[in-house]
Structure 1
């Protein structure tokens, strides 16, 4: 680290001693500026029937959305739910969706929308974001990106979706979900044919502190918006 010094600290030692002899105060060196603290995250492990997915949630950058997700985690309302939808828009690109599947018995009240233009986050490979019908309607359904889709971020013309974290381990599981067979007769409207034929169960969702290795969300070129 390069440390900054005041002009006085750079003067010859003899001059500093002479100045002290005449009663002149010698200013202390200016301390270096403090390094900014990294944004805090909360780790959550989704244990699924296809393997574990470890998430890092951005509680500083997206506090409302992260708190909502943790509300479901701490109340164990994700336990027994599924990853039930996948949208594949190309080889290795798309998203997988899971959560309470709009089950009113499991739902907490909707939350305020936190756009990416406010949080500084983006729909990069491995990002986790909230599913919603319109701003301020998100509850307990979420999706994980496979490949980047910046077209899902907020801009001047659309509110986008609320990213609130990213996968740090388990993208291999997410990619397998993206390739899961779908039922052509399930789903309604634009979602018809996107529902996973054999939904992958979320056995549990828990806050965890297990040490993790480097993220396995390898960068990928941008994909078209699902």
Structure 2
């Protein structure tokens, strides 16, 4: 009887080993990274590297829809980051900011859309934080395809901020999720005044399918 019990124990141990070996042979799959609810993931490919961002189509629907229609029409293919704003190149500004600014392909044949209404941050609830994407503009309701990315928190760009004398702020609409090292590298590139010389190429901007 003792021998029988030993044999059963040995058989059970062998079976357990077989199961463990089988499990260890199974591929381990990392969970897929999902975009935050209500956002659209995009990939900004530049000549210096890739930036990933999420576009907030719920809280900033007008600005998000505008940016994505330029993305979907391939207007940013062959575009460029053409402006860098640092603490050292704003001698005439009492309120200083740090951003990089990019835009669509300058070709006259590319797709163009009408300017959009300004989505103020006091309405959207979004703020200009480190890595925030926002629409560049002159006067209110004048934004088209140019956008900028904040380097560090920039509260003066929010509604009632004093970077723009009209106090209306700018339209934040997205957030960098990966690639702030690329953003900072672009900001540090050679410039004449605030114009990057040469501009940094935007190879393409496209949606990330998940």
Q: Normalising to structure 1: TM-score of the pair?
A: 0.68
After superposition, what is the alpha-carbon deviation per residue over 1:17-70, rounded to whole angstroms, capped at 9, x for unaligned? xxxxxxxxxxxxxxxxxxxxx751000101111100111000000000000000
State whether structure 2 residue 151 is matched by structure 1 residue 137: no
| Equivalent residue pairs, number | 162
In 1, distance between residues paired with 2:74 and 2:120? 26
Partner in structure 1 of residue 23 of structure 2: none
Partner in structure 2 of residue 96 of structure 1: 100
| Conserved? CA contact 1:49–1:200, under 8 Å | yes
Structure 1 SS opposite 2:144: coil
Q: Normalising to structure 2: TM-score of the pair?
A: 0.73
- Alignment match of 1:46 (pick from 44, 47, 54): 44
| Conserved? CA contact 2:77–2:105, under 8 Å | no
| Conserved? CA contact 2:80–2:200, under 8 Å | yes
Partner in structure 2 of residue 218 of structure 1: none
Higher relative contact order (CA 8 A, sep 6+): 2
Partner in structure 1 of residue 206 of structure 2: 206
| Conserved? CA contact 1:153–1:159, under 8 Å | yes
Partner in structure 2 of residue 126 of structure 1: 131
CA drift of 1:165 comes to 0.6
Query: Unmatched 5+ residue regions in structure 1?
Result: 1-37, 184-192, 211-226
After superposition, what is the alpha-carbon deviation per residue over 1:46-98, rounded to whole angstroms, capped at 9, x for unaligned? 111110011100000000000000000000000001001000016xx710000
In 1, distance between residues paired with 2:180 and 2:150? 10
CA drift of 1:104 comes to 5.9
CA drift of 1:155 comes to 2.1
In 1, distance between residues paired with 2:141 and 2:105? 17
RMSD, matched Cα:
1.9
Partner in structure 2 of residue 166 of structure 1: 175
